Structure 1
């Protein structure tokens, strides 16, 4: 009579509740994926599993550009998890898959933030729309279309502090002819969000919009751009 074996197979850590062992499954799935050629159904199947397991464990951020950064991260993952097609390939000796993905995601979020700040500066420093001919379009003011944000971006706060301080006195010195009260310092500060419209400024100083905007572009904007460049924002 044969004895029934009393040896039972130990359950694999990859079996059971996938949520409970998802982080443990990731290195196994990466190894499995990379055993198959790029583009093969077997690799794609394992990459899909990795994405599903890792998606809820990545860094979250409530920003308008988060989804763009996340999409870039997944593309980077697919191209470089096994082979370094667009960057250095994933090295399990340097950290977990989640650490690798989160590092790249945060880098892309930082890039998006910097680009967003630069766009904000461009809008702030371009008072009126400009036609293809180079003429100023008096009817278009991009600044007026920017909603006021209660959380002042660091870049705008830097500009405000720089303009108020005016350490060399240049912004206070430059003014519209016969109107010493209309200086570059005044216009730069008044045009920062939440900004005064050119129409309201024209009424306040009893000057045409064209005079104010032309003075701002010719005399004030170069100082603003110079400051932004010195801070590494342009």
Structure 2
């Protein structure tokens, strides 16, 4: 076991000595996230950020108590190994869902292309079940987005749709998140338009906030 693994295991032990939701537990879990992030599996796929978000939600729910899955067992491996195992499974799920979605939409797209119509491929995140519980760190993100002290999130919007702002999409995509399919129907815009705006305008600002708070 290297020094980082031992440090992470110690922080987890200290965190779990405190009750769920307590500042002491949150402080130690935040340290775990900051350190473990450097060792997590990385890949350049459209759904990596969603899979990573699911991994951190799973981490917060099961690192000390078995809430939504198997509780972390330090005798079976390091914290990083546990997280990477879950992350890779979620990435695999996304990949499989993407392949299935493409298989379902391909015939329709070919038909539409022949008739001169333009359809958008449904984002695979649509078929994911939303998690009903929100860990403390996501409460911080929600508070930050709702407050929007600089007004930046409210100012940035999809061109031609001033009411569909970065603030709105960030809040709607926080667990329990609304699917892209649902948002598409609600706002009357293609999934590709919404998800592209989210990737370009929302993800960078979420990452910047996470860095400023020491989450990543």
Give me the TM-score of the superposition, normalised by structure 1.
0.47
Q: How far apart are 1:115 and its partner, in Å?
A: 0.8
Q: Deviations over 1:148-195 (max 9, x none)?
A: xxxxxxxxxxxxxxxxxxxxxxxxxxxxxxxxxxxxxxxxxxxxxxxx
Look up the match of 1:228.
none
Q: Distance in 1 between matches of 2:28 and 2:4?
A: 13
Q: Distance in 2 between matches of 1:24 and 1:93?
A: 12
The aligned runs of 1:173-192 (5 Å cut-off) are none
Is it true that 1:36 corresponds to 2:21 in the alignment?
no
Look up the match of 1:75.
57
Give runs of ≥4 in structure 1 deviating > 3 Å.
none
- One of 128, 140, 150 as aligned partner of 2:111: 128
Give me the TM-score of the superposition, normalised by structure 2.
0.51
Look up the match of 1:45.
27
> Number of paired residues?
118
Does the 8 Å contact 1:128/1:141 carry over to 2? no
- One of 38, 41, 49 as aligned partner of 1:59: 41
Larger Rg: 1
Q: Please state whether the residue corresponding to 1:125 is helix, strand or coil.
A: helix
Q: How far apart are 1:119 and its partner, in Å?
A: 1.4
- One of 77, 94, 114 as aligned partner of 2:96: 114
Does the 8 Å contact 1:36/1:42 carry over to 2? yes
Look up the match of 1:103.
85
Unaligned runs of 5+ in 2: 122-216
Q: Deviations over 1:62-91 (max 9, x none)?
A: 111111100000000000000011001001
Q: How far apart are 1:141 and its partner, in Å?
A: 4.4
Look up the match of 2:206.
none
Q: How far apart are 1:122 and its partner, in Å?
A: 1.5
Does the 8 Å contact 1:77/1:101 carry over to 2? yes
Could you say which structure has the greater relative contact order, defined with CA pairs below 8 angstroms and 6 or more residues apart?
2
Unaligned runs of 5+ in 1: 1-19, 130-136, 147-234
Q: Distance in 1 between matches of 2:34 and 2:5?
A: 11
Larger helix proportion, structure 1 or 2?
2
Q: Distance in 1 between matches of 2:73 and 2:117?
A: 52
Q: How far apart are 1:22 and its partner, in Å?
A: 2.8
Q: How far apart are 1:125 and its partner, in Å?
A: 2.0
Once superposed, what is the RMSD of the aligned Cα atoms? 2.0
